[in-house]
Amino acid sequence: MEVIKLENIYVAYSGSDKPAIMDINLSIELGELVLITGPNGAGKTTLIETCLGLLKPLRGRAFLLGINTKSPRIIRARRQCSYVPQNFMKPPYESYTVKHVIKLGLASFKLPFEPINKNEEERIKEVANLLGIKDLLNKPMGMLSGGQQQRVIIARALVRKPKVLFLDEPFSSLDHDARIHVAKIIKSYVEEYRASAIIISHDINPVMELVDRVIEMENGRIIRIRSRV
Amino acid sequence: MFINIFLLSIVSALFAGGLCGAVGFHVQRFGVTTMSFGIAHAALAGAALGLLLGVDSTMSAMLLALIIALFMGIVLIRISYGRELISMAIFSASSAIALFAIYVSSAKVLATTSVAIILWGSLLAITFEKLVLLITLSILFSLYIVACRVHIDAILYDKKLAEAEGVNVQLHTLILLFFTGAVIAITLKLTGGFLVFTLLYNPVATALQIAKSARKQLVLSSILGSISAITGLIVSYIIDLPVGATIALTSTTILIITCITRISIEKIKWKINKLS
């Protein structure tokens, strides 16, 4: 089953004549772990945001879990995905606690007045334990270091049990050991839940051994796709 | 009789200020401040057109404010480049329509206090029906923020992340813009069309200086909105000044005092830390 399908995609930001990504044809299957790499300005984040339907293509068609990203039904597809954005850092005055931030990951599944249930509370603790942030659950986000905040956002992504995980530079604020640890968590999640993960990373070392495919981008184009032998 | 009217105005100010503060908090955190500015002036244009056409100006204000809110929530929200400038263009056009409608109104309309009420506000403008409308709107907004707290919190924390996770950000923005239009249209005659948005912005600006958590900021914005509206109303009555301008200056004074106090406390704390 294809979770992502991009057909001849061109995306340009408003006010810019030059497309940020162009001539993109890509298909990602369920259960695949894919690494997207390339220099700054290559179009990696634009590609992920196009897959999620946050950016609409000028030309071509993009499908997420079989739904055209231009369709209003894309919201349903997004509910089966998680996103770890590149800009996750919150300022020191941010008062939302770690537990609250992880809980917010479940917001899109909730009906009006519907509270978080016991199973979900347990799941939050479980994921926090997995990422080594259990002791931080009652701390405000603004008081945490960059690495801790990054773990919280990854925990929020995992608590949703997504079919597709989009991770934009998920190792950027982590030290060497934590990078290896988080990479392994992502790999085991993909295997356990038969999910797909699309990781953008400059630092390919922590995940190189774990991924199924490496997509290299430059100047808004895919220049090479390598499959793991 | 007068005491009844005055009491009615005080209760209206309590609800109008509180509701404006709560709506203003969400407007600021949703990043639709400029859009709400456009909606506020669309309400003014609607009220002026109501005078011109001889229909209830609160209802015409609400109609135009809601049409503009609908346009902004469905069309303008999709435009990422120059959205703020388009909102400002709507503000300018709405102000021009308001002045045009007043200019071409009949001499009879111009001779009444109706024009002054929609421009400067009046404590005599609030009727029992408007108060009921205001209370109903306050209950509806409270219900909305309680029912959808988790969705709203997700948007307040990180709008883009919430959207990527499948929270219907566009729908919630549209609902918020609708409430903004409705509350502005009802409050318009109390504060006046040119100053109605001060009750949306100033209490939030003050709350941000005092409280750190979003929940405290929301409650404080609401309380400060009510305090500003009631104080402004009483002062305007005692000194015989236009209500809207007095409310605006009261809320601005509270903001200035809060800023000065906060800076002074921070300086004292810094000095104590340095000494210890």
B273 touches chain A (CB under 8 A): no
Count of positions (residues) in chain A: 229
Of A83, A96, A113, Cβ closest to residue B161: A83
Please check the confidence at residue B109 and state whether its pLDDT lies above 70. Answer: no
Please check the confidence at residue A229 and state whether its pLDDT lies above 60. Answer: no
Least confident of A19-33, A97-111, B88-102: B88-102
CB-based contact A106 B150, cutoff 8 Å: yes
Q: Which of B49, B33, B16 is nearest to B196 (CA)?
A: B16
Rounded distance between C-alpha atoms, residue B42 and residue B36, angstroms? 10
Cβ B40 vs Cβ B154: under 8 Å: no
A71 touches chain B (CB under 8 A): no
- Residue B2 pLDDT class (50, 70, 90 cuts): low
Of A78, A101, A116, Cβ closest to residue B164: A78
Residues of chain B with C-beta less than 8 angstroms from the C-beta of A110: 150-151
Whole-number mean pLDDT of chain A? 93
Per DSSP bridges, beta strands A59-64 and A213-218 are: unpaired
The pLDDT of B165-186, averaged and rounded, is 94
Residue pLDDT, tens place only, B33-72? 999 989 989 999 999 899 888 888 889 999 999 999 999 9
More confident residue, A116 or A209: A116
Q: Which strands make up the sheet holding A67-68, listed edge to edge?
A: A21-29, A2-11, A59-64, A67-68
Please identify among residues 108-167 of chain B the ones whose CB lies closer than 8 Å to any CB of chain A: 146-148, 150-151, 153-154, 157-158, 160-167
A1-80+162-229: CATH topology is Rossmann fold (3.40.50)
| pTM attached to this predicted model | 0.91
Q: Which of B92, B93, B112 is nearest to B52 (CA)?
A: B112
Q: What is the CA radius of gyration of chain B?
A: 19
A110 touches chain B (CB under 8 A): yes
Model pLDDT, residue B1? 64
Residues of chain A with C-beta less than 8 angstroms from the C-beta of B219: none
Per DSSP bridges, beta strands A196-200 and A164-168 are: parallel
Please identify among residues 63-102 of chain B the ones whose CB lies closer than 8 Å to any CB of chain A: 79-82
CA dihedral A148, A153, A156, A160 (to 10 degrees): -140
CB-based contact A104 B212, cutoff 8 Å: no
Each domain of chain A, given as residue ranges in start order, spans 1-80+162-229, 89-161
Q: How close does chain B come to A117, measured CA to CA in Å? A: 13
Model pLDDT, residue A133? 95
Residue pLDDT, tens place only, A132-172? 999 999 999 999 999 999 999 999 999 999 999 999 999 98
Residue pLDDT, tens place only, A73-122? 999 999 999 999 999 999 888 889 999 999 999 999 999 999 989 999 99
The pLDDT of B227-249, averaged and rounded, is 90
The pLDDT of B234-247, averaged and rounded, is 89
Model pLDDT, residue A195? 96
Complex ipTM: 0.94
Least confident of A56-60, B19-23, B82-86: B82-86
Q: How close does chain A come to B211, measured CA to CA in Å? A: 10
Three-state DSSP class for residue B32: coil
CB-based contact A104 B154, cutoff 8 Å: yes
Interface mutation vs chain A, best among B83, B153, B161, B262, most A CBs within 10 Å? B161
Rounded distance between C-alpha atoms, residue B19 and residue B178, angstroms? 13
Residues of chain B with C-beta less than 8 angstroms from the C-beta of A85: 158, 160-161, 164
Residues of chain A with C-beta less than 8 angstroms from the C-beta of B213: 95-96
Cβ B154 vs Cβ B167: under 8 Å: yes
Rounded distance between C-alpha atoms, residue B182 and residue B189, angstroms? 13
CB-based contact A95 B213, cutoff 8 Å: yes
Measured N-to-C along each axis, helices B57-74 and B83-104 cross at an angle, to the nearest 10 degrees, of 160
Quick one: closest CA in B to A54, which residue? Answer: B164
CB-based contact A107 B79, cutoff 8 Å: no
Beta-carbon neighbour count of residue B7 at 10 Å? 10
Tokens of A168: 């934009």
CB-based contact B166 A113, cutoff 8 Å: no
- Residue A34 pLDDT class (50, 70, 90 cuts): very high
More confident residue, A146 or B120: A146
